[in-house]
Chain A
Amino acid sequence: MRRARIGFAIVFGLMPFVLCFAFNREFWPFTHFPMYSKASKRVVWTQLRAWPRGGDQTGPGEVILDKDCFHPFGTVRFHYALLNFMSPRAGAAPARDKVDAMVGALARQWGSSSCSPEAWGTIQAYLVWFEPDGFSRWKIENPSEMRAISSRFEIPAPNLVPSSEGAP
């Protein structure tokens, strides 16, 4: 009995490190902790941009950085999710429908949250690139390149029933 217990603990506690490393694959929660193993000189990230309610909808919009606006998704997790959907494993196509689902859900959430539903009219997600010498927290508004990756979603007006339709 003791041998079986120890065997179970080794197979599920220690072997996964070896297997994940050998196959260079993760199978959550089993992992070989590959984070921070490869750096890129050109940073790619996602941004959420918003346009004021009733204001000019044609400009670049404003980058939303307030972490309260990403509740309950989580700021970093939300952006990583969009990035993962847009850069899936080799062979798979970017899942733009999932990006739309996430941004649409966030827009609906804004309509009933304290994240200024009266101020913002629409939101849209972008893939952004920062060059080696051109990025810092001070220049986060001005990436060297940006591309829309979601539809533009209307923020439901406060106290109205949220709409699930995206406004292109």
Chain B
Amino acid sequence: MSRKPYALAVARITAYAALLATYFYFFTGSMSAWARAMPLEAWTPVGVLSLWPEGWFPTTSAGFVQLCTWLEILFVVSALAAITGFKWAWSAWTTLILSLLVFGIRHSFGHAFRTESILLLAQFVFVVSKAADAVSFDAWWARRKGASGPHESIDYEWPLWILRLMWVGIFFSSGLTKLRVSGFEWVTDNYIHDFLLSNLVTRGPNLENQIQGGLSGWLADHRELCLVLGILTLAFEIFYPVILGLRLKWRRGFYVALAMTIIFQMSVYILMGVNFMFYFALLPIWSDRWIDSRLSSS
């Protein structure tokens, strides 16, 4: 059990750094440049963005660009503050709100990705956690003012548990939804094969001339392998909560399960072209003992 603050602090740094990286990845650099190209007529607010009062939304392209420029600046500054643990009580909340706006606006032109969802959802846990009690500007400043170092506390443990449950919930609910929508036909009808083929159409231009395109094309030609892959995928997702038990009772099995998770996400990227690798930024939530022992001794 980890009651030291370091694992949570490292998870904060990696998660918010990944959030910032995701922003630059999605906007290929600049939100304001992206906003210049977007037609406001196609604005279709998604999820929490639909709560945004219509009257508050810019009606002209110039107004939209101006809004995005400000959001861009504020988001980057706020995310940097969260990474460094500067005024955490404020920067965590501003980053949450601004990232919902920034990514929500990006998704409100017809299509929302789910690849970065974990980084947004994780913030709902980070904002109420004491994730900046170590490895942060706030902690350094408090120490300078004469405060003692962070003590062991359950406050550094429960956020990690909720983040782990969230991580597990993503895999489990994905598997459960497959069963709910398609039942065991998802496996018996060889849906993996159909996804691979359709992906060659939908993501063909992105996969063409890359190793991914060749691999998924090769796999699609081997229906039996697709069937096996389908069985493994569904079983992996449905039984994923077992990882929590493994972590407590069988450490070696837990590491195997975690390695399988990494292989799973990389396979999704290689075969389907969908980048779920933002999840790796939250790996510190699983390595609390190792991080705490390393950082507390140093």
Contacts and interface: CB of A to CB of B under 8 A. Distances in A.
Contacts of A84: 110-111
Interface in B185-199: 186, 189, 191, 194-195, 197-198
B186 A136 contact: no
Interface stretch (A12-20, A49-57, A119-127): A12-20
B223 to A, nearest CB: 12
B177 A72 contact: no
Contacts, number: 190
Interface string A5-24: 11011101110110011001
B150 interface: no
Nearest to A65: B205
Name the interface size band of chain A. Answer: 35 or more
B177 A21 contact: yes
B214 to A, nearest CB: 10
Contact of A76 (B112, B186, B203): B203
Interface residues of B, number: 73
Contacts of A5: 128-129
Contacts of A76: 202-203, 206, 273
A98 B203 contact: no
A62 to B, nearest CB: 13
17 contacts: A9-B162, A13-B124, A13-B125, A13-B166, A14-B166, A17-B170, A29-B47, A29-B100, A29-B103, A39-B182, A45-B202, A72-B33, A79-B202, A80-B110, A98-B41, A98-B42, A137-B200
Given A38-B181, A45-B202, A81-B42, A17 B128 contact: no
A40 B198 contact: yes
B48 A28 contact: yes
B174 interface: yes
A136 B49 CA distance: 37
A4 B163 CA distance: 17
| A12, A36, A75, A101, most chain B CB atoms within 10 A | A36
